A = this chain, B = another copy of it.
Amino acid sequence: MSQTVDRALSILPLLAEGPADLGRVADRLGVHKSTALRLLRTLHEHGLVYRQSDQRYRLGARLIALAQEAMENLDIREIAHPHLVRLNESCGHTVHLAVYEESEVLYIDKVESRYPVRMYSRIGKPVAITVAAVAKLLLADLPESERRLLADKLDYPMYTPRSTPNAAAFLRELEKVRDQGWATDLGGHEESINCVGAPIRGGDGKVVAAMSVSAPNVVVTADELLTLLPLVRRTADAISGEYSGRTPVKEVAP
């Protein structure tokens, strides 16, 4: 809607790919160098980009601090965290919490496995949306039309032979997940990693977040992991209960 701001913001994902110099930024934006310079300057003043010693620009530290605050504003995270820790203490595996927002699913909390073999993932990293258990849970709750629209828009990379191959299969899987109230990912993302997940619901019954337990099958088999399902669901329900007890969004005095 605003050309200038639009251009400026387009610089951020561009720099996320790696440091770039002025000419490169100007080219990618399709504007004159002097224009790019002024946009970069403004971003710099706000700390969103940083100029390294070789004069190239990269993303700045303020961005990291802002993201931090963004996460702390998500009250579901605050409420869920102790539950996740407790679950981790009783089963020892990696526990994730994820939310859906604007066609993306992303992890907003994680408790690390206590086993030496750990899976790679990081808070903030967008989730493999077509295969992850938490993604299925979150998308399964979308209204029919939106779900269909999104499923069509997605890519279906075959991380492994067990990955969801296409939109039709994905939609079927979502139906199943919706009916049974829990989800799995059995080697659909990484050959040797399995997950079991359950949804967290707000007061109105809508899914507001999803959690999962993940473990490589060198530690436990998929069947063994599935025995944790009742515990996972109980934890998710406990979080749901506590969450819907409170007001969904904090009110600020006028």
Contact = CB atoms under 8 A, between A and B. Distances in A.
A155 interface: no
Nearest to A47: B102
Interface string A129-145: 00000000000000000
Interface string A94-123: 000001011010101000100000000011
A104 B65 contact: yes
B68 A125 contact: yes
B68 A59 contact: no
A103 to B, nearest CB: 9
B60 A73 contact: no
Interface in A19-45: 19-20, 38-39, 41-43, 45
Interface string A39-59: 101110111101011101011
A254 B30 CA distance: 17
A12 B48 CA distance: 11
B5 A43 contact: yes
B45 A99 contact: no
Nearest to A254: B24
A9 interface: yes
A248 B252 CA distance: 46
A43 B9 contact: yes
| Size category of the binding interface on chain A | 35 or more
A149 interface: no
Contact of A70 (B42, B60, B102): B60
A70 B66 contact: no
B5 A39 contact: yes
B2 A68 contact: no
A125 B4 CA distance: 30
Nearest to A16: B69
A52 B247 CA distance: 14
A71 interface: yes
A124 B250 contact: no
A20 B47 CA distance: 22
12 contacts: A2-B8, A2-B42, A4-B5, A9-B42, A9-B46, A9-B48, A12-B46, A50-B102, A58-B73, A64-B108, A65-B106, A67-B124
Closest 5 CB pairs of A and B: A67-B67, A68-B124, A59-B70, A16-B69, A61-B101
